[in-house]
Amino acid sequence: MRERSTLERTPALQDVSGLRIGMLAPIAWRTPPVHYGPWELMASILTERLVRRGVDVTLFATADSITSAHLDAVAAHGYTEDPSMDGRVWEALHVARALARSAEFDLIHNHLDWLPLAFDAQWRSPLVTTVHGFSGRGILPAYERSRSAFVSISNADRASALRYTATIPHGIDLDAFPLGPGGDDLVVFSRMHPDKGILDAIDIAAATGRRLILCGIVQDEAYFRDLVRPRIDDDRVVYLGAVTAEDRPRVLGAAAALLHPVHFDEPFGLSVAEAMACGTPVVAYARGAMPEVVDAGVTGILVDPHADDRITRAAAAVSDAVVLDRDRVRARARARFDADRMVDAYLDVYRDVATHRGNPRQTVRARAS
């Protein structure tokens, strides 16, 4: 199967009326999530847009998920919300359910990382796997041994040992993120975790003299308690907690700029695209996928994360970012990250997989023999 570049456009699969997709979402959170859960969110957006186009989709997700597709659930709700649930057990049961039904579909679209790949030989329809990020090198053997078609969400996140079908950046519902009025405050939308550079964001905001609004779940309790919480004064630094999907556009759209000084090579950065959709420019460290997601000088400013004076540079970048044209920021976000563009690209992948693997029903018989 020939790989398609991110810039190469081919017509999306036209006749989708008979296409049957099993969408395997994660079950850490509901699909779509109430506040945090980017993998679940992407599975949801793709599912709903496919159904809108007439594709027959069965969503494997938690029982409290909200969808217009057929819903098949084993877990009542996300295991991160229930301490009595062992995520390893429920994910295994979840995958087993989709595996048992896999012959019913033309393909299974896996958003659940490595676990479904460990059962590669048992799937009775082709797999497409969106690689949302690697938690570590230790999971690569499951990928390397799989016949799944792999889709990366950025070129920066690709593993050299794998062959990919395409790179498809995340798409968002632009109508859910209208152009915002902007304001004076800076905002951070991310997990409260050292990887996200929360302390750097606080220092950058202080250097600019602007108030900082922090939003996101607490993922590292000790980090938040010992290092972040003491810096929150509810005046110059305000913590709003885990902001819901309904409030997210309002908070992002009211900001002067989004700060994204991440300390790891982030695979994509969904909040960055969402901020830009609201017309809010971004100041980010130039690592991971940030140079792919942020158009420097148009939708934001990139800063060298390794510079000794990175805080000073980022503060100066805020001054450059806040004068960027918000209409132009949103227009670029629409051109690059609209959900329908993402769906078009995935339909191309589905067609390629079907062409490469042959008729899925014939593939089932060949494997069974």
> What pLDDT digit, counting tens, does each position of 273-300 carry?
999 999 999 999 999 999 999 999 999 9
pLDDT for residue 2 = 47
Q: Which of 230, 225, 222, 228 is nearest to 201 (CA)?
A: 228
Residue type, 157: D
Q: Which of 87, 84, 86 is nearest to 28 (CA)?
A: 87
168 to 132, 270, 339, 343: CA distances (angstroms): 11, 13, 11, 9
H or E stretch covering 72: strand 70-72
H or E stretch covering 50: helix 38-52
Q: Which of 247, 194, 242 is nearest to 215 (CA)?
A: 242
3-state secondary structure of 195: helix
What band does 363 get if pLDDT is binned at 50, 70 and 90? very low
pLDDT for residue 354 = 76
Q: For residue 369, is pLDDT > 90?
A: no
> What pLDDT digit, counting tens, does each position of 216-242 carry?
999 999 999 999 999 999 999 999 999
Residue type, 253: G
**Which distant-in-sequence residues (6+ apart) come within 8 Å of 347 by Cβ?**
12, 13, 16
What band does 13 get if pLDDT is binned at 50, 70 and 90? very low
299 to 81, 267, 330, 331, 332: CA distances (angstroms): 35, 18, 8, 9, 7
H or E stretch covering 134: none
3-state secondary structure of 283: strand
Q: For residue 119, is pLDDT > 90?
A: yes
Q: Which of 322, 310, 312, 314 is nearest to 281 (CA)?
A: 322
What band does 15 get if pLDDT is binned at 50, 70 and 90? low
Residue keyed to tokens 């859960």: 37
pLDDT for residue 18 = 78
pLDDT for residue 134 = 87
Q: For residue 355, is pLDDT > 80?
A: no
| Confidence (pTM) | 0.89
Pairwise CA distance, residues 61 & 74, whole Å: 8
pLDDT top residue among 73 and 12? 73
**Which distant-in-sequence residues (6+ apart) come within 8 Å of 365 by Cβ?**
none
Classify residue 225 by its DSSP letter.
I
Pairwise CA distance, residues 115 & 146, whole Å: 11
Rounded to the nearest 10 degrees, the angle between the axes of helix 38-52 and helix 339-357 is 80
Q: For residue 111, is pLDDT > 70?
A: yes
Instruction: Report cis status (omega within 30 of 0) of the bond before 83.
Output: no
Q: For residue 360, is pLDDT > 80?
A: no
What band does 92 get if pLDDT is binned at 50, 70 and 90? very high
Residues facing 158 on adjacent strands: none
What band does 12 get if pLDDT is binned at 50, 70 and 90? very low
Domains of the chain and CATH, by start: 20-171+338-368 (3.40.50.2000), 174-334 (3.40.50.2000)
pLDDT for residue 362 = 32
81-109 average pLDDT score: 97
> What pLDDT digit, counting tens, does each position of 143-193 carry?
999 999 999 999 999 999 999 999 999 999 999 999 999 999 999 999 999
